[in-house]
Structure 1
Amino acid sequence: MITLLADGREDAIDGLVVPYGAPVLGWERKPHGWCRGEACIPSFRAAAAETADGVDLVAFAGLLGRQAVADPDEGVVAVGEPVEPVLDRAPEFGPLPGLRGAKVALVFWASWCGCRYDLPAWEELHRELGGYGFSVVSVSLDRDPDHAGEWLAGLTHPAVVDADGRIAELYNVVNVPTVVWIDPDGRIARPQDTMTATDTFRSMNGLSSERAVAALRRWVIEGDTGTELRELRAPTADERLARLHGRVAAWLLRAGRTAAAGRHLAAAAALAPHDLAVRRGLMPLAGVDPFGEEYFRIREELEAAGIPIYRPLPDWQEAAG
């Protein structure tokens, strides 16, 4: 048996070749091709993924524009999200559909980041600006929901835990804190950007929370986003593949298969060395201190390579110190 990690689910399948008659990633075989609702892949295109025994899952995912990482020896395969052709619209999940008509600050954080101390400040902004049609939605990138729980106690804004990394994949988030502004129509008002709500770690990140929060208030009250960027920054193919290796590594770590997980973590680091949401985010599952020597080793590695920890540099950044 193989565990399939896709669409926020874990499903058991018999193998990487799916027998005819069974759905594949929600698609069903029809006389004229493979269909899901009104969408269909013509038979002549689907033939590239079909074998005598059934449908090659990884090849079929490729036809859908979805990357995959398979580790048949460990019994797991992860399939990524489709490439999003419309980058100016916020991908929907959890509470977002119910907030249409409001301006939203989508705040990515984690218990393994000092930005966890910003949550009370985000809660204050949520309450302060709620009368202007504004809401904070916080997304924890903790792979273990229990690690996020203590920091969410007493908060009233919508909050979710992205334990499988799917929301980070949808929004191409490579580190925290990252914030996305979403307008009342569900479109991107400001793309994924490093943003703080307090100056707790200003000596390390060189970011001015005063500038950032003032810009947020201007947007909520006056409608001025302070930028012409209105699309999410698209991930590269390597970044998408690195996240899938991270998803497989997380599954293996939860199963106690540390050595196998290490191979996938190494692959993720080679593909996207700057993706701390994977490299640092999985440290707690591996029993590694995310505030310890390994994290600072990675920081030094990235700085030596000229890769900024906080990407991209926002317009409210100041020189550290």
Structure 2
Amino acid sequence: MITLLADGHEEKIEGLVVPHGATILGWERKPHGWCSGDACIPSFRAAAAETEDGVDLLRFAGLLGRPAVADTDEGVLAIGEPTGLALDRAPEFGPLPGLRGTKVAVVFWASWCGCRYDLPAWETLHRELGGYGFSVVSVSLDRDPEAAGEWLADLTHPAVVDADGRIAELYNVINVPTVVWIDEEGRIARPQDTMTATDTFRSMNGLSSEQATAALRRWVIDGEAGTTSRELRASTDDERLARLHARLAAWLFRGDRRVAAERHLAEAAALAPHDLAIRRGLMPLGGVDPFGEQYFELRDELEAEGIAIYRPLPDWQEDSL
């Protein structure tokens, strides 16, 4: 048996070759090809994944433009999101579809980041600007939902925990705090930016919450996003594969398979050394203090290689450093 990790779900399948007649990742075989809604892969293309015994799942994922990483020794397969998604549209998750017609700030944070202390300030902005058609949606990147729980108790804005890293994958989030602005039509108004709602850690990150929240208010009230960049910054192929290795590592850590988990974590770090959402985010599952010595060693490593911890620098912060 193989455990399949895909689309935010976990399920058991018989193997990497799926029997004929089964639905695969929401796609069904029809006389003219594989179809999902109005989208179809014609039979002549689908033949590349079909065998006498069934459908090769890895090849089929490739036909869908979805990266995949398998560990057959550990019996697990992770399939990522399709490549080539529209970068000017906000990928949907959780509460987002129900907020169409509202401006949204998607706030990525984690309990292993000092930005957890910003959540009350984001809640205040949510309440203050709600009458203008605005909502905060906070997304915790904690791999352990219980770690995020204590910080969510008094919040009224929509909040989710991205334990499998799928939302971070969709939005190409490599560190926290990261914020994305989405307009009423579900389009990107401002892509992934480092943004704080308080100055608690300004001495470390050099970021002005006053300038950032003033810019947010201008956008909500006056519609001025203050940027010409209206597309999410796309992930590279290596970043996509790194996130799948991280997904396998998290699953393996939870199953107490530490050696295999650390192998996939090392692979993820090699593919995307700059991705702190992976490297620091998995520390708690591996029994490592994300505020301890290993984290500061990681910071030193990245700084020595010229990799910025907080990036990209929002334009409203340029005069504050």
What range describes the TM-score normalised by the shorter chain of this pair? over 0.9
Do 2:121 and 2:198's aligned partners in 1 also have CA atoms closer than 8 Å? yes
What's the counterpart of residue 159 of structure 1?
159
What displacement does 1:51 show? 2.0
1:66 aligns with 2:77: no
What's the counterpart of residue 202 of structure 1?
202
What's the counterpart of residue 292 of structure 2?
292
C-alpha separation in 1, matches of 2:29 and 2:251: 30
What's the counterpart of residue 22 of structure 1?
22
Question: How well do the aligned residues superpose, as a CA RMSD in angstroms?
Answer: 1.2
Alignment of 1:99-118 (within 5 A): 99-118=99-118
What's the counterpart of residue 235 of structure 2?
235
What's the counterpart of residue 258 of structure 1?
258
Q: 1:320 to 1:186 in 2, by over 3 A?
A: closer
Do 1:203 and 1:320's aligned partners in 2 also have CA atoms closer than 8 Å? no
What displacement does 1:319 show? 7.7
What's the counterpart of residue 245 of structure 1?
245
C-alpha separation in 1, matches of 2:319 and 2:279: 26
What's the counterpart of residue 125 of structure 2?
125
Amino acid in the other structure paired with 1:155 = L
Q: Secondary structure at the match of 1:48?
A: coil
Deviates most, 29-38 or 232-241: 29-38
Q: Secondary structure at the match of 1:229?
A: coil
C-alpha separation in 1, matches of 2:95 and 2:181: 15
Amino acid in the other structure paired with 2:76 = V
Divergent runs of 4+, >3 A = 318-321
Alignment of 1:1-321 (within 5 A): 1-317=1-317
Stretches of structure 2 lacking an aligned partner (at least 5 in a row): none
Do 1:16 and 1:56's aligned partners in 2 also have CA atoms closer than 8 Å? yes
C-alpha separation in 1, matches of 2:35 and 2:101: 33
C-alpha separation in 1, matches of 2:68 and 2:214: 42
What displacement does 1:257 show? 0.3
C-alpha separation in 1, matches of 2:187 and 2:270: 33
C-alpha separation in 2, matches of 1:21 and 1:223: 50
Q: Deviations over 1:50-88 (max 9, x none)?
A: 222111111110100000000010000000001143111
Do 2:208 and 2:320's aligned partners in 1 also have CA atoms closer than 8 Å? no
Q: Secondary structure at the match of 1:249?
A: helix
Amino acid in the other structure paired with 1:229 = S
What displacement does 1:43 show? 1.1
What displacement does 1:320 show? 8.1
Q: Say how many residue pairs are matched.
A: 321
Amino acid in the other structure paired with 2:304 = A
C-alpha separation in 1, matches of 2:214 and 2:255: 45
Do 1:207 and 1:316's aligned partners in 2 also have CA atoms closer than 8 Å? no
Amino acid in the other structure paired with 2:52 = A
Do 1:205 and 1:320's aligned partners in 2 also have CA atoms closer than 8 Å? no
Do 1:108 and 1:176's aligned partners in 2 also have CA atoms closer than 8 Å? yes
Q: Identity, % of aligned pairs?
A: 82
Deviates most, 24-33 or 261-270: 24-33
Stretches of structure 1 lacking an aligned partner (at least 5 in a row): none
Normalised to the residue count of structure 1, the TM-score between the two structures is 0.98
C-alpha separation in 1, matches of 2:177 and 2:216: 15
Do 1:29 and 1:35's aligned partners in 2 also have CA atoms closer than 8 Å? yes
Q: Deviations over 1:71-108 (max 9, x none)?
A: 01000000000114311111111111111111111000
Deviates most, 294-303 or 74-83: 294-303
Q: Secondary structure at the match of 1:34?
A: strand
What displacement does 1:29 show? 1.8
C-alpha separation in 2, matches of 1:17 and 1:290: 39
Q: Deviations over 1:126-156 (max 9, x none)?
A: 1111111111110000111110010011111
C-alpha separation in 2, matches of 1:107 and 1:37: 32
